[in-house]
Amino acid sequence: MTSLHIFRKVAVAEGISYLLLLFIAMPLKYLADMPLAVKYTGWAHGLLFVGYAACLVMAWQETKWKFSKAALIFVASLLPFAPFFVDKKLKDEEPQAN
């Protein structure tokens, strides 16, 4: 299993956690007075964000991307839905198993 494959999986998980945080946990906190939703979802998202950054560095080193490409992929982690587009684009770069 390549670091690019691992990065793609972490990117999707990070993207899902970000959407859960923004569209489920935050409304629960402010509309239903349930702050623990943000506490636990935010904690999970934070771990996945750190994993995203670490796996990005590993994939960057393995694939020999330009700095600008790695930086753009990192910025994508800050935007809702963008990690899913990153996954789709990187799927074409991943070597196919024989």
Please provide residue 30's backbone torsions phi and psi, each rounded to the nearest 5 degrees. Answer: -90, -25
Please check whether residue 96 lies inside any domain of the structure: no
Alpha-helix runs per DSSP H in 1-98: 3-20, 26-31, 35-63, 67-76, 82-91
Please check whether residue 98 lies inside any domain of the structure: no
What is residue 41's three-state secondary structure? helix
Tokens of 61: 């080193």
Query: What pLDDT tens digit does each residue of the chain (98 aa) get?
Result: 899 999 999 999 999 999 999 999 999 999 999 999 999 999 999 999 999 999 999 999 999 999 999 999 999 999 999 999 999 999 988 877 54
**Global pTM value:** 0.91
Please check whether residue 43 lies inside any domain of the structure: yes
CA pseudo-torsion sign 86, 4, 62, 14: positive
Please check whether residue 42 lies inside any domain of the structure: yes
Please check whether residue 82 lies inside any domain of the structure: yes
Please check whether residue 58 lies inside any domain of the structure: yes
Please check whether residue 77 lies inside any domain of the structure: yes
What is residue 95's three-state secondary structure? coil
Please check whether residue 97 lies inside any domain of the structure: no
Domain that holds residue 66: 3-91
User: How many structural domains comprise the chain?
Assistant: 1
